[in-house]
Amino acid sequence: MTVTDDKTIVQNYFNNVGFDRWRRIYGDGEVNKVQLDIRTGHQQTVDTLLGWLQADGNLAGQRICDAGCGVGSLSIPMAKMGAIVHGSDISERMIQEARSRAQQELGEIPNLDFSVQDLEALRGQYDTVICLDVLIHYPDAQVPAMIQHLSSLAHSRLILSFAPWTVGYMLLKKVGDFFPGPSKATRAYLHRRFDIVDILESSGWHLNRTALTKTRFYFSYLMEAQR
Ligand SMILES: C[S@@+](CC[C@H](N)C(=O)[O-])C[C@H]1O[C@@H](n2cnc3c(N)ncnc32)[C@H](O)[C@@H]1O
């Protein structure tokens, strides 16, 4: 499959059945047990990341790019904390939802904006670039170019998360538990930690902080790299 095919499939998924599924998971309404588990795990990843940003004590005024921002689960709290946030996503419906949630929570604020964009078409310079739980949509062969592009946008920090490849998770994925029910409309790609570290180091980064979030159906390895 070509890069364009993969992206079109992901984009269609997150504009249709995937939108409905993930909007619910990333919300606070009623969901099934598996979705609740994924919601809990994802929120833990978001909280860990917000904790890192807060601990550094310099979030206010930082220019942050949230690439593949979904419904704004991270962009909105970062903007609330005073960062200047640009969230973008390949799915128009995810961005519509992000805008509507931001409006409800924050009203019109000048330090948060959203755009519909493939992350590899993003331009500009940011203090920090964040790409949370998006690498799962990228096969190994496409990961280096994607990370190198995000690197080119980031002045001092790049934060990524991905589903780590381990034998256990590979089996779980194979038996189909990873994306429950009819949501198996996109492929889920797991990545090896050392592959991601290699790509980061060859792009001039060193690893600063890491965290693994693991619930029954959600697993995400968070990495913060600095220049
Ligand atoms: C699992 S969701 C994670 C959303 C958000 N980062 C979060 O953690 O709340 C993955 C998101 O990545 C977006 N996405 C996938 N490939 C993308 C690409 N090439 N460019 C921009 N967004 C992309 C999808 O549309 C979807 O909203």
pLDDT digits (tens, 9 = 90+) for 65-106: 999 999 999 999 999 999 999 999 999 999 999 999 999 999
- CB of 95 within 6 A of ligand 1: the answer is no
76 lines ligand 1 (CB under 6 A): no
Q: Could you tell me if the CB of 62 is within 6 A of ligand 1?
A: no
Q: What percentage of residues in the chain have a pLDDT greater than 90? A: 86
Residue 224, strand partner residues: 159, 209
Q: Specify the residue for token string 């310079």.
A: 125
- Residue 90 Cβ inside 6 Å of ligand 1? The answer reads yes
**Most informative mutation of 14, 85, 134 for ligand 1 (most atoms within 8 A of CB):** 134
pLDDT score for 183: 47
* Closest atom, ligand 1, to C-alpha of 94: 27
Q: 224: Cβ below 6 Å to ligand 1?
A: no
78 lines ligand 1 (CB under 6 A): no
Type of residue at 79? A
Please give the structure tokens belonging to residue 28. Answer: 């606070």
Tens digit of each residue's pLDDT (9 = 90 or more) over 124-137: 999 999 999 999 99
Measured in Å, residue 118 CA sits from the centre of ligand 1 at 9
Contact (Cβ atoms closer than 8 angstroms) between residue 146 and residue 119: yes
> Is residue 6 lining ligand 1, measured as CB closer than 6 Å?
no
Q: Ligand 1 pocket test: pick from 50, 122, 137 the residue with the most ligand atoms within 8 Å of its Cβ.
A: 137
pLDDT in tens, 216-225: 999 999 999 9
Residue nearest to atom 27 of ligand 1 (CA): 70
pLDDT at 177 over 70: no
The pTM of this model reads 0.94
> 104-115, pLDDT tens digit by residue?
999 989 999 999
For residue 92, the Cα-to-chain-centroid distance in whole angstroms is: 16
Under a CB-based contact definition with an 8 Å cutoff, are residues 148 and 173 in contact?
no
SS3 letters across the chain: CCHHHHHHHHHHHHHCHHHHHHHHHCCCCCCCHHHHHHHHHHHHHHHHHHHHHHHHCCCCCCEEEEECCCCCCCHHHHHHCCCEEEEEECCHHHHHHHHHHHHHHHCCCCCEEEEECCHHHCCCCEEEEEECCCHHHCCHHHHHHHHHHHHHHEEEEEEEEECECCHHHHHHHHCCCCCCHHHCCCCCCCECHHHHHHHHHHCCCEEEEEEEEECCCCEEEEEEEEC
The proportion of the chain whose per-residue pLDDT surpasses 70, expressed as a percent, equals: 90
Distance 88 CA to ligand 1 centre (A): 9
